Amino acid sequence: MLRVGAHTSIAGGVHNAVTEQLDYEGNCGQIFSHSPQVWQDPNIDPENATQFREQSADNDIGPWVIHSSYLVNLCTPKDDLRAKSIDSMQREVDAADQLGIEYVNVHLGAHTGAGVEGGLDNAASALNELDVPDDVTVLIESDAGSGTKLGGQFEHLAAVQDRTDLDIEFCLDTAHAFAAGYDISGPDGVAATVTEFDDVVGLEDLACIHLNDSKHACGTNKDEHAHVGEGEIGEAGMRALINHEDLRDVPFVLETPTENGKSFEWNVQRVRELREN
């Protein structure tokens, strides 16, 4: 079954994310547990959490992903930021457990002078500090790779997996991968990129795909999302991703913009149109 959905809001209660997902005709999705621009604890009412779990089950919506705060930086060499990042991630995995959510997604962050190897070591050791509930998995998301940010190369993802004791999996963001230099604008490029991901990281650990087109060219390291099939990746690339035999069963979560009269609902429908039986 094609699993495709969007990032939805928890305004008014986390259970409202399910209602919003149904409005988009999505059957999986992603949320923030709080505003991602600030250090803030998830504020989840137990009754709303029960409603979220029950409504998701009743409508066969899943898997869900919690996206961590944008402030989290696992690679940082700064002790105070590292401590805040670990604390924030612990609260996210606990919130996921409360909500029956399978995944918590996080970017590696930036090494800010520690160097690539130092940053990767920092990320792995930060992950080791987490006490992750049995039914929750941390996903490391691929990055666009600007500045000292890590995660733009598949080798970064594999290195963290090798160095941490935590059982982690991965989220591949198509716009980020494209911005980082993986040309997925056509079938050949998609096939080559999927093969490389499998060789370096392993497709068995690919748990989610952020299916976003890109407003900027391949290799620019610019992270700005476009509607499915209407950016620089384009329809041919998106079609190849959606129908690749090794990706067909991976859930697609949209983080596409709301502009030009098109919203998440339009993009969910576009994915369904591009899917071939």
- Considering only CA atoms, which of 144, 59, 60 is closest in space to residue 109? 144
pLDDT for res 141: 98
From CA 145, how far away is CA 46, in angstroms rounded?
A: 38
Q: DSSP letter at 251?
A: P
pLDDT confidence bin for 277, thresholds 50/70/90: confident
Q: 243 and 209 in contact (C-beta within 8 Å)? A: no
pLDDT tens for 245-272 read: 999 999 999 999 999 999 999 999 999 9
- Considering only CA atoms, which of 142, 75, 73 is closest in space to residue 114? 75
**How high does pLDDT run on average in the chain?**
97
The CA distances from residue 62 to 102, 209, 210, in Å, are 9, 14, 15
Decide if pLDDT at 24 tops 90.
yes
pLDDT tens for 168-209 read: 999 999 999 999 999 999 999 999 999 999 999 999 999 999
**How many CB atoms sit inside 10 A of residue 68's CB?**
24
pLDDT tens for 195-244 read: 999 999 999 999 999 999 999 999 999 999 999 999 999 999 999 999 99
- Considering only CA atoms, which of 57, 216, 233 is closest in space to residue 145? 216
Q: Name all domains of the chain by residue range, CATH numbers in brackets.
A: 4-274 (3.20.20.150)
Decide if pLDDT at 6 tops 90.
yes
- Residue tagged 């096939």 (tokens): 191
- Considering only CA atoms, which of 111, 195, 210, 186 is closest in space to residue 156? 111
The letter for the amino acid at 68 is: S
**How many CB atoms sit inside 10 A of residue 272's CB?**
12
Q: DSSP letter at 69?
A: P
Q: 154 and 141 in contact (C-beta within 8 Å)? A: no
pLDDT for res 95: 98
pLDDT tens for 75-104 read: 999 999 999 999 999 999 999 999 999 999
pLDDT for res 110: 98
pLDDT tens for 37-57 read: 999 999 899 999 999 999 999
- Considering only CA atoms, which of 104, 103, 121 is closest in space to residue 69? 104
Q: 201 and 168 in contact (C-beta within 8 Å)? A: no
Decide: residue 63, CB within 10 A, 0-12 exposed, 13-18 middle, 19+ buried. Answer: buried
**How many CB atoms sit inside 10 A of residue 83's CB?**
13
